[in-house]
Amino acid sequence: DAGITQSPRHKVTETGTPVTLRCHQTENHRYMYWYRQDPGHGLRLIHYSYGVKDTDKGEVSDGYSVSRSKTEDFLLTLESATSSQTSVYFCAIRGDGDSGNTIYFGEGSWLTVV
Amino acid sequence: GQNIDQPTEMTATEGAIVQINCTYQTSGFNGLFWYQQHAGEAPTFLSYNVLDGLEEKGRFSSFLSRSKGYSYLLLKELQMKDSASYLCAVRASGGYNKLIFGAGTRLAVHP
């Protein structure tokens, strides 16, 4: 258990509405990530953070923004949700010093945009 | 470009041995990871290879050949609970520990 909590775990929203997913960690990890997982594509990196207020884009960042105002919280925002953003979203943290700084995942947030 | 290939699906029999292959082409290489993911759950870490050779951990082993851009995950004494997807991921160069994932191999274990 890497001490990661995602909320909400499940959400249905309408096209065009804003949505924020929250990732909370309790072990003071510096690196945090947001991935999405879709059939046939595997896990794809949306955004990542390497410290408070330090964030950068991943490979599929269009339509998403992030914020990290505290070490423990990493927020993912869909400014105006579209059906193509229906997906499972996983937050992850980097374990420090173990097994090559392995990435550990939260339980996931299932988002449906109708 | 970045590319990680693994078979989409595999089937095997309980008690048998199965090998799941992964080939990769990435801009730099700084480690290869295998994860297990049961349906509806988060991926969980299985193994890590950064040097050539075999890493053994109980019933699971992982092999890496950096010169060939190739890895495999070997599962022995298969159990029904091993039915899951297995994800191969490469940490490319560039810092920040970003992982690039393959699409995953769905393994079905039959009695």
- Quote the tokens at residue B41: 């759950």
**Banded pLDDT at B92 (limits 50, 70, 90):** confident
Please name which of B97, B60, B73, B78 lies closest in space to residue A49, comparing C-alpha atoms: B97
Give residue A40's identity as a one-letter amino acid code.
Answer: G
Please name which of A100, A5, A51 lies closest in space to residue B89, comparing C-alpha atoms: A100
Q: Report d(CA A90, CA A43) in Å as an integer.
A: 9
Nearest CA in chain B to A94: B97
**How far from chain centre, in Å, is Cα B43?**
11
Instruction: Reduce the DSSP state of residue A96 to 3 states and report it.
Output: coil
How big is the A-B interface in CB pairs under 8 Å?
A: 53
Per-residue model confidence (pLDDT) at position A97? 67
Mention every residue, 6+ apart, whose C-beta is less than 8 A from residue A39: none
Q: Do B96 and A108 touch (CB under 8 A)?
A: no
Chain A residue numbers touching B98 (CB-CB < 8 A): 33, 45, 48, 58
pLDDT tens per residue across span A52-84: 999 999 999 999 999 999 999 999 999 999 999
Chain A residue numbers touching B104 (CB-CB < 8 A): 42
Beta carbons of B12 and B107 less than 8 angstroms apart: yes
Instruction: Reduce the DSSP state of residue A10 to 3 states and report it.
Output: strand
pLDDT tens per residue across span A9-40: 999 999 999 999 999 999 899 999 999 999 88
Chain A residue numbers touching B91 (CB-CB < 8 A): 100
Tell me the average pLDDT of chain A: 93
Per-residue model confidence (pLDDT) at position A41? 86
- Tracing tokens 């979203």 back to the chain, one arrives at A89
pLDDT tens per residue across span B10-48: 999 999 999 999 999 988 888 999 999 999 999 999 999
Is residue A107 within a helix (H) or strand (E), and if so which, with residue range? Answer: none
Per-residue model confidence (pLDDT) at position A101? 78
Q: Do B33 and A105 touch (CB under 8 A)?
A: no
Per-residue model confidence (pLDDT) at position B2? 80
